[in-house]
Amino acid sequence: RSYRVAVVPGDGIGKEVVPEGVRVLEKIAKRHGFTLKLDWYDFSSCDYYLKHGRMMPEDWKEQIGGHDAIFFGAVGWPARVPDHVSLWGSLLLFRRDFDQYVNLRPVKLLPGVPCPLAGRKPGDIDFMVVRENTEGEYSSIGGKMFPGTAREFVVQETVMTRVGIDRVLKYAFELAQRRPKRHLTSATKSNGISITMPYWDERVEEMSKGYPDVRWDKYHIDILTANFVLHPDWFDVVVGSNLFGDILSDLGPACAGTIGIAAAANINPERNYPSVFEPVHGSAPDIAGQGIANPIGQIWSGAMMLDHLGEHEAAGAILTAIERVLAEKTLRTRDLGGNADTVACGKAIAEMI
């Protein structure tokens, strides 16, 4: 087995944590008998922008579109390049042009990680957020009318297509089917949003008929956010529209500890295009260059990438190594109350493997 991976470190701490992710990936590949062919790219970074006047070269799609996956760090350096320029010129192009309609974030409380929710222990919090990543509330249909007059108003349409909803629901139900609890929760707001959200509910109901072994329920987004905090143990797979999923996929990882360990994937399930695996955090300019960033979010993203590539055992082994290093508490980065640096933490996890 051999996989071609495009490695895109990006900006700030991306350049520090990606090499640790790669260290762990190379170690696990050797252990589990597969080959990773890594191609490194310097674009999708603000440094590249300052040199070339754009975030990525014109032929970026040709350069990385043929890879099996993209291992991404973080992009953004607001003091030099405005965020809407850097993110829209890179990461958001990946999502759109590579049709990555599933945004997946694990929410799992790991041993030894201080939990912001009182009294929760590992095992209490272990679920996945599935966010629709291409349509819904984030459409560009709408506009401002009569600007500057007393009649001024703005409109922005939500667009939900049957194909768009069904494909993300299918992904979520199949994911639930593979997990021991086989439970799916849908985020809705059909009591207030009277056209699109009842349609979303209708599609969930319809889709559920194909998965009789998956138990499912739905909550309005307002009480659902409260339940993430009050009853995180109620959830297994949680699926939401673009906006609701966005909110839940930040709230979820925050309930399970620090941003330095949270991982994410932008997935094209059909594999017509490569998927992007990245930590939840950004480039953290405030600590960049000091070698103190926590590399675990990046390393965990590497595990998600291997899972996507079909190397499930290797993916599980990475997570086990992360959990062991965290549980031992001897080697942890500053955000977790220790004083280990990025490289030492990466090496400890690689050695654990």
What are the residues binding Mg ion (CB under 5 A)?
246, 250
Between the two ends of the chain, the Cα-to-Cα distance in Å is 20
SS3 per residue for the chain: CEEEEEEEEECCCHHHHHHHHHHHHHHHHHHHCCEEEEEECCCCCHHHHHHHCCCCCCCHHHHHCCCCEEEEEECCECCCECHHHHHHCCHHHHHHHCCCCEEEEEEECCCCCCCCCCCCCCCCCEEEEEEECCCECCCCCEEEECCCCCCCEEEECCECCHHHHHHHHHHHHHHHHHCCCCEEEEEECCCCCCCHHHHHHHHHHHHHCCCCCCEEEEEEHHHHHHHHHHCHHHCCEEEECHHHHHHHHHHHHHHCCCHHHCEEEEECCCCCCCEEEEECCCCCCCCCCCCCCCCHHHHHHHHHHHHHHCCHHHHHHHHHHHHHHHHHCCCCEHHHCCCECHHHHHHHHHHHC
Q: Which of 78, 116, 142, 143 binds ligand NAI (CB under 6 A)?
A: 78
Q: State the nearest-atom distance from the C-beta of 298 to ligand NAI, in Å.
A: 7
Residues paired with residue 75 on neighbouring β-strands, in sequence order: none
Q: Which is nearer to ligand NAI, 135 or 335 (CB)?
A: 335
User: Which span (108-116, 124-132, 205-213, 278-286) binds ligand NAI, by CB under 6 A?
Assistant: 278-286
Q: Which of 169, 284, 303, 340 binds ligand NAI (CB under 6 A)?
A: 284
Q: Quick one: what does residue 293 bind among ligand NAI, Mg ion, none, with the CB cut-off 5 to 8 Å set by partner type?
A: ligand NAI
**Per-residue x/- mask for ligand NAI, residues 12 to 31, rule CB under 6 A?**
-x---x--------------
User: Which span (68-76, 99-107, 110-118, 204-212) binds ligand NAI, by CB under 6 A?
Assistant: 68-76
Q: How many residues can be counted in the chain?
A: 353
Q: State the nearest-atom distance from the C-beta of 138 to Mg ion, in Å.
A: 11
Does 9 bind ligand NAI (CB under 6 A)? Our answer is no
The residue to which tokens 């494909």 are assigned = 167
Q: State the nearest-atom distance from the C-beta of 192 to ligand NAI, in Å.
A: 29
C-alpha distances in angstroms, 331 versus 117, 177, 325? 23, 36, 7
Q: State the nearest-atom distance from the C-beta of 17 to ligand NAI, in Å.
A: 6
Q: State the nearest-atom distance from the C-beta of 21 to ligand NAI, in Å.
A: 11
Q: Which of 83, 97, 157, 233 binds ligand NAI (CB under 6 A)?
A: 83
Q: Which is nearer to ligand NAI, 67 or 281 (CB)?
A: 281
Q: State the nearest-atom distance from the C-beta of 334 to ligand NAI, in Å.
A: 7
Q: Which is nearer to ligand NAI, 7 or 197 (CB)?
A: 7
Q: Which of 89, 257, 282, 346 binds ligand NAI (CB under 6 A)?
A: 282
User: Which span (31-39, 74-82, 96-104, 219-227) binds ligand NAI, by CB under 6 A?
Assistant: 74-82
The residue to which tokens 């599980």 are assigned = 316
Paired tokens of 137: 């509330």
- Considering only CA atoms, which of 316, 313, 298 is closest in space to residue 22? 298
Q: Which is nearer to ligand NAI, 158 or 342 (CB)?
A: 342
Q: State the nearest-atom distance from the C-beta of 249 to Mg ion, in Å.
A: 6
User: Which span (73-81, 179-187, 222-230, 235-243) binds ligand NAI, by CB under 6 A?
Assistant: 73-81
Q: Quick one: what does residue 282 bind among ligand NAI, Mg ion, none, with the CB cut-off 5 to 8 Å set by partner type?
A: ligand NAI
Query: Would you tell me which residues interact with ligand NAI (CB under 6 A)?
Result: 13, 17, 74-76, 78, 83, 87, 91, 259-260, 278, 281-287, 293-294, 297, 335
